[in-house]
Amino acid sequence: MSADVFIFAVLLVVNALMALAMLLAARTLGQARIAYILAATFGTNVLLYVADAIYIFRFRGNIPINLIVSMIAMTPPILAATAYRLRAGLPLYLGRLAASHALATCIILWFSYVDPSRGYRSAVVPLYAATILIFGTTALLRPGRRLRLGELPIVITSYALAAIEMCGGIVLAAMRNTPTPELERAYQLIVFLGLPGLTVAAGIFSLYLLAGDLAERMRIAADTDTLTGAPNRRAIETVGARLMAEAGANGRPLTIAICDVDHFKEINDLYGHSHGDDVLCRLTGLFAEQLDGPDHYGRFGGEEFILFFPGTDTETARCRVETLRNRIMSERIGDLPLRLTASFGVAGMGHGDHILADIIKRADRALYASKEAGRNRTTVDRQVQPVS
């Protein structure tokens, strides 16, 4: 078996396995649309290698068959670009991609019949593939978008594939109608050494990408309260530890508040748990709207919420909490004759605080004072000098 046939067989088997793996990933790892598109990408590569083998061994030199093979070869980059743009949340531009495919086909026809040039005709496919890969991969790098888990290896691999295709296209174009042994050797080195490794890498990193998505969804689920969608106690403790470390390192204040819905048990008993759930969801929406960060609040348990005010002293935080308390009083739960109120306890991080529980303990004590004083009020813990 020659080296060319061996590498060809490796590419065929690898792409077939990757197509199967992507189909399985669509059922188990989520992101089904992206997984199915990537499965179609590798599956079309399999079709390409089969068609290419038929062309080489049965129809070599047949221009119509070569055109069909070229049209198949230009499809996988379109599918890959579609998957990346879908992942990036950008328009897919399927019409424009189809038009580009048709234009590239016309160029192949031109160099097949109007101005025959074997080199130029053969160069169209790899140059087109490189262009479309760059177009699709760049979507993941758009300004303002952070790369997610598993995306950087895909970006690097896609750009490397585009570079291989580009170099191969340039060498083919340089051959024109009179290929030299040097150019043919260069093409074999570029394509047959670069493509197998990068194809394997693209498949592995695509699976890693989808597995990373599953891991991220599991992390979010573990950190999210299922009823309200707010960060849960686990997330609160993680964020609190981070904010305390940042406050200690920067010498900036950190204030937290505990919010407790007044008479929440009576709301559940008198009006039903569905209305109690509605109260908690309303408060979550209010905190999400009014606080500075999506992780600066969370449901601590029951009807209690923890609020974080990084870089804010206790007095400023108290004013902001009072604004929240007044907003809560204006909330209406359906048509119920219900005046919703909440009590707050506020405490700042002190020099002797080492864990979040130290601050929460004092904020909880302040909350208890608010309850004892008649509810629907805010109390600030004054027993510890906060960091300022």
Active site residue 315: no
Which residue bears the tokens 């707050």? Answer: 344
> How many Cα atoms sit within 13 Å of 239 on the Cβ side?
24
Phi, psi of 250 (to 5 degrees): -95, -5
DSSP letter for 148, please.
P
CB 351 within 8 A of CB 251: no
DSSP letter for 230, please.
S
Angle at which helices 233-250 and 356-372 cross, to 10°: 110
| Residue 256 tokens, joined | 């937290």
What is the C-alpha to C-alpha distance for residues 164 and 136, in angstroms, rounded to an integer? Answer: 16
Which of 303, 304, 315, 331 is labelled catalytic? 303
CB 258 within 8 A of CB 306: yes
Angle at which helices 181-222 and 3-28 cross, to 10°: 20
DSSP letter for 294, please.
T
Identify the CA nearest to 278 among candidates 321, 232, 335, 327: 335
| Residue 360 tokens, joined | 């929460």
| Residue 354 tokens, joined | 């080492």
7, amino acid identity? I
CB 8 within 8 A of CB 54: no
CB 348 within 8 A of CB 384: yes
The three-state secondary structure class of 254 is strand
Largest CA-CA distance found in the chain, in angstroms, rounded: 95
Q: How many CB atoms lie within 10 A of CB 371?
A: 15
Which residues are marked as active site? 303
